[in-house]
């Protein structure tokens, strides 16, 4: 990732997190947090990784809420990021990094207990 895309990714992450917390009133996304944003080199698309507390149903509902609010979120970003000519299309995905880490820890612990 170039320095430019890293700066844009970080800026979008911060601004989007702010909008979701303070402006989005959908109860489905209350437990959602922006964990990472990956912007394509042409800055046309931003993959937003979301960490959501709760079970699988709550995660899928949060993702539905974010997909429903995608236009609102992109418009809010456009108002906040006036220096950008084009605000990237937002693609939301669940960040399963913490879940995978927990599974690996459990496997290592069970392996350690067996020996």
Interval 106-113 mean pLDDT: 75
- Write down the domain spans for the chain: 3-114
For residue 62, what are the contacts with CB-CB under 8 A and spacing of at least 6? 28, 29, 31, 32, 50, 52, 54
Q: Where is average pLDDT lowest: 9-18, 22-31, 72-81, 90-99?
A: 90-99
Task: Decide: 41 and 9 in contact? Cβ < 8 Å.
Answer: no
Give 33's strand partners: 51
Interval 57-62 mean pLDDT: 93
> Which pLDDT band holds residue 113 (cuts at 50, 70, 90)?
confident
Summarize pLDDT for 61-91 with one digit per residue, the tens. Answer: 999 999 999 999 999 999 999 888 889 999 9
Matching CATH number, 3-114, of 3.10.20.30, 3.40.50.150, 3.30.300.20, 1.10.10.10: 3.30.300.20
The label of the residue with tokens 């067996």 reads 114
Note the pLDDT of residue 115: 61
Interatomic CA distance for residues 13 and 81, integer angstroms: 12
Average pLDDT value over all residues in the chain: 89
């Amino acid at each position: 990732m170039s320095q430019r895309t890293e700066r844009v990714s970080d800026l979008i992450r911060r601004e989007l997190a702010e909008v979701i917390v303070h402006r989005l009133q959908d109860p489905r996304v209350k437990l959602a947090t922006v964990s990472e944003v990956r912007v394509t080199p042409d800055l046309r698309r931003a993959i937003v990784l979301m960490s959501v507390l709760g079970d699988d149903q709550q995660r899928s509902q949060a993702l539905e809420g974010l997909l429903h609010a995608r236009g609102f979120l992109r418009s809010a970003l456009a108002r906040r990021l006036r220096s950008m000519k084009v605000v990237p299309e937002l693609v939301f995905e669940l960040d399963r990094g913490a879940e995978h880490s927990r599974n690996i820890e459990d496997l290592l612990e069970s392996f350690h207990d067996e020996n």
